[in-house]
Each structure stands twice: as C-alpha cells, then as structure tokens.
Amino acid sequence: MAQFGWAYVNCSGSSSGTSAAGPSGSLQFMTASGQGSTTGSANLTFHEGSGLMTLTGSLRVSGSITASHYHIENVTQIDVSGSTFFGNTNDDRHVRTGSLEVVQADGTPLLHVTNSNGMVNVRGFAGRYTIVSSATATASVPSYIIGVRHTDNVEILIPSASTYGSGAILVVKDEVTDRGGTNIRLTASVGYLIDNTVEYILTGSMPAISLYSNGANWFVF
C-alpha cells in the first residue's frame, strides 16, 4: 500500500447533501438521523471572543456539572431529593442577604430570621452539653451547658472571655444531689476575671451559675 505524508480531500462534489446553517456562532446539530443536514439556533450559541456559551431554554443533565463558579438565578429546585450541600473546607464563608425562614414540610416554622429588625425566632433551642466527671476540667468553645457529675471537689478552668467572644453564655450546673461538703471551683484564665475576681466557688445543694462574656471578662447573671 502506498504511503502519503499528507492528503487533500475535496468534498465539494459530495452527494451527501450535508450543509451548515443557522446564525453566527450557533452550535450545529443534525436535523435528521443519518446523513441529514446540520443547522443551528440562536438559542444555543458560542461567542468566540468572550468564550461564552449561551443557552436560552432548559437544560437537563443526567451526570455531574463541575465549574469553578456558579451564578444561579430564580432557583426553584436544586436536588430532586431536596438536599443541598455548600462548602468543602472549614474556612468557607457563606453570605445570605435578606430574611431567612426554615419550616417543616407541613409549613410549621422552625427558624425565622427577620432582616428588618434583626430578630431571630426559633421553635426550640439546644446548646452543647458537656459532662464533667473528673476532679479537673476545662470548658471548651463552644461549650454552653456544663453538668458536673463528679462527687468530690471539682475545679473548672473557664477559657478567656476573648476566646468565647462577646455575648457568649456559659452555664455550669451541679448535678450531684448530695455533695457532702465539697464544692465546685470556677477559675478564670490568666488575665481574666469572673465578676471582678479570679475564681468563683459553688457550694450548697445543687447550685448553678450563668456567665456571659463581654469579650474582655466574664460576668455572673
């Protein structure tokens, strides 16, 4: 068989009848099965200068779509199962402007954030609950309720108010019914105070204390 370094094929005399049609930049598609002609539509175009592909109409994808950036308008359905997932690292930040409402399938409100007055309404709330079952413990962000079950003397180190941040609340509750003369000692981190003192001692029958942070120190309320 002969070998050629190049070849020129002249299709001008082809009898297949194929031809391209449609507006400039339109993507071509077959008008019929087999060797029918191709055509294009203004509804699906590619702009070479900007590298932009434009689709007017609906798009159905059975596989996955991967992109570095999405700009979505008029979202009515994201997932056929109803689930959505955002972000893939702990430092991701998601910003939403406007009010927010979370409801059950029957319309029962669970969470409502009103942009006009800055109010947040919840149907029920549960903070992080931490058990202390040893003689020493350190409250950790974002602990909210600390239940003390150790029956002897207990010392709990309260982290810095700046670590928790202003407006943070911490509740400590003795869950032992009879402490037998022992106590619970709350100690502030170095450089911080609890109601202008470095420590606060809980005594008596099943005492409790509520603290809030102003970002600089802790206060009892």
Per-domain boundaries in the chain: 97-125, 129-220
Among 190, 184, 196, which Cα is nearest to 160's?
Answer: 190
Q: Which residues contact 200 (CB under 8 A, 6 or more apart)?
A: 185, 186, 194, 209, 220
Kindly report, residue by residue over 195-207, the tens digit of the pLDDT. Answer: 999 999 999 999 9
E strands, 109-204, in order = 109-113, 120-122, 129-132, 136-138, 145-148, 154-158, 169-174, 184-188, 199-202
Give me the pLDDT at residue 210, please. Answer: 97
State the DSSP string of 41-52. Answer: BTTEEEETTTTE
Cβ 147 vs Cβ 131: under 8 Å: yes
Between 35 and 212, residue with greater pLDDT: 212
Tokens representing residue 191 in the block = 């450089």
Residue 18's CB: how many other CB atoms inside 10 A? 11
Do residues 22 and 32 touch, judged by C-beta distance below 8 A? no
User: How high is the pLDDT of residue 7?
Assistant: 63
Out of 6-20, 41-55, 133-147, 176-190, pick the least confident.
Answer: 6-20
Say if domain 129-220 classifies as CATH 1.10.3470.
no
CA dihedral 99, 103, 109, 112 (to 10 degrees): -20
What's the pLDDT at 211? 97
Average pLDDT over the chain, rounded to an integer: 87
Residue 60 has pLDDT above 60, yes or no: yes
User: By 3-state DSSP, what share of the chain in percent is helix, strand and coil, each rounded to 5?
Assistant: 0, 30, 65
DSSP strand pairing (218-220 vs 208-213): antiparallel
**Helix (H) / strand (E) containing 100:** strand 100-103
Type and span of the H or E element at 163: helix 161-164
- 71 pLDDT band, cuts 50/70/90, is confident
pLDDT exceeds 70 at position 34:
no
**Mean pLDDT (whole number) for 61-72:** 82
Residue 9 reports pLDDT greater than 80: no
User: pLDDT value at position 190?
Assistant: 93
Q: What is the pLDDT of residues 138-183, one digit of tens each?
A: 998 888 999 999 999 999 999 999 999 999 999 999 999 998 899 9
DSSP of 143-158: --EEEE--SS-EEEEE
The pLDDT score that the predictor gives to residue 221 is 94
Q: What is the pLDDT of residues 109-130, one digit of tens each?
A: 999 999 999 999 999 988 999 9
